[in-house]
Structure 1
Amino acid sequence: MIIHFAIRRGERHGAKQIVRNIVLPGIGMVLTGVLRANLHFDALTYGLIWLTIGIVTLLVLTRALRKRLGVKLDQDGDAAVVTREGAPARS
């Protein structure tokens, strides 16, 4: 957030933009770091296992990031179906 909005897009003029694009994301980063530092070892282990499963799934679906993923929503806009680009979506 800070890099995208405050640095790349230059949205750091005025108090409102500074708070929204620098201060609040900075507080979020600090709180996330404190939370992770205080997690029980089992929770951290299970979280890392879940992250690994997600990364492996991403690499399989994108063929090692060589293909783009597409997301299709149903008529209500609720359920997302993730597909490889060019592959038909399965329900």
Structure 2
Amino acid sequence: MPSLNKAFGGDLSLYIKRDDLLPGSGGGNKTRTLEFCIADALEKSANAIITGGAVQSNHARLTAAWSAKGGLDCRLILEERVKGNHGTAQ
């Protein structure tokens, strides 16, 4: 940050948002989107989040993590989108 600040004239207050410090890190844009969606749900006094996705959905995993952090119940509707793509390894 000091080098970046210097490159811009040394007169800035710079801030970085660290997605790796958020619940369920590693979600990239999914994590950022969920941060706002969960905040909106809490503001509206929701008590549950429902989402859908594939059996191994990162979106579903992140939604569950963010819901737990917000104290919300989470229901996942998962589907096998690629036949035979879940279960035991062969």
TM-score (norm 2): 0.23
TM-score (norm 1): 0.23
Q: From the two aligned structures, give the one with the greater strand fraction.
A: 2
Higher RCO (CA 8 Å, separation ≥ 6 residues):
2
Q: From the two aligned structures, give the one with the greater helix fraction.
A: 1
